[in-house]
Structure 1
Amino acid sequence: MRNQDDAADRSDGERIEAAEREAARQRILALAEADRIPVEETTRAVPDRRWRRGGR
Structure 2
Amino acid sequence: MPPRHALCSRLNEADVQLAITFINASQIQSNRRAATAFNIPRSTLNDRRAGRPARRDC
Q: Which structure: greater helix fraction?
A: 1
TM-score range, shorter chain: 0.3 to 0.5
State the structure with more CA Rg: 1
What TM-score, normalized by structure 1, do the two folds share? Answer: 0.43
Higher relative contact order (CA 8 A, sep 6+): 2
What TM-score, normalized by structure 2, do the two folds share? Answer: 0.41
